[in-house]
Copies of this chain bind each other. A is one copy, B any other.
Amino acid sequence: MKAYKKADFPVDKIRRFLEPGPIVLVSSAWRGESNIMTMGWHMVMEFEPSLIGCYIWDENHSFELIKRSKECVINIPTVDLASVVVGVGNSTGAEIDKFATFKLTPVRGARVEAPLIKECYANFECKLVDLSLIRKYSLFILEVVKARAAISPRYPRTLHYRGDGVFMVSGRHLNLRRKFKPENL
């Protein structure tokens, strides 16, 4: 699998990767057990602090791991990992070790115990900062406390789920910067 050369990335600028809506892999760990889940429902909620809202279904094995450890890592896979994304989503950490099964490499994080996934384009270490919306909406409010992203390519080929087994792959880019008022960028 592809190995990206990565560098630290400003946490208040990770919207660049998450706002376009990619499917992500969320890794977590609790008491010696680690797991990975595929997640499509998330949104940027703030720059500073860098807040992300994530829907995590309580039937997911990762639900308890993240709720108890109050940590996780949001990893951004690229199109070459499409089969892994589907495989991770199809299986449960209650039965298998997903790192081993899908030949993904866990990497130690700087700020969280949860492992980063080496093969992903970017890794955002997150702390669970608000648990109050979990019961009603399965909504986890995460703060990105440390980010690393590949140096190249500038824009990764990400997967965007449409339901029914269909992914949109990110396409070309349109730079309309000159048309924006600076305060609206």
Contacts and interface: CB of A to CB of B under 8 A. Distances in A.
Interface stretch (A111-119, A143-151, A169-177): A169-177
Interface in A129-185: 133, 137-139, 141, 155, 157, 159-181, 184-185
B161 A177 contact: no
Given A19-B161, A21-B160, A42-B43, A177 B169 contact: no
Listed residue (A13, A17, A159, A176) with the most chain B CB atoms within 10 angstroms of its CB = A176
Interface stretch (A26-34, A83-91, A97-105): A83-91
Question: Is the interface on chain A under 10, 10 to 19, 20 to 34, or 35 or more residues?
Answer: 35 or more
B173 A171 contact: no
B168 A171 contact: yes
A102 to B, nearest CB: 13
A135 B40 CA distance: 26
Nearest to A79: B174
Contacts of A184: 89-90
Contact of A90 (B89, B161, B181): B181
Contacts of A171: 157, 168-172
Interface in A30-56: 40-45, 53, 55
B21 A179 contact: no
11 contacts: A16-B163, A40-B44, A43-B53, A44-B55, A53-B53, A79-B174, A90-B180, A165-B180, A167-B173, A169-B171, A171-B172
Given A16-B164, A83-B179, 14 more contacts: A19-B40, A19-B160, A20-B168, A41-B44, A53-B137, A82-B174, A82-B176, A89-B180, A89-B184, A90-B184, A155-B168, A164-B177, A165-B176, A169-B172
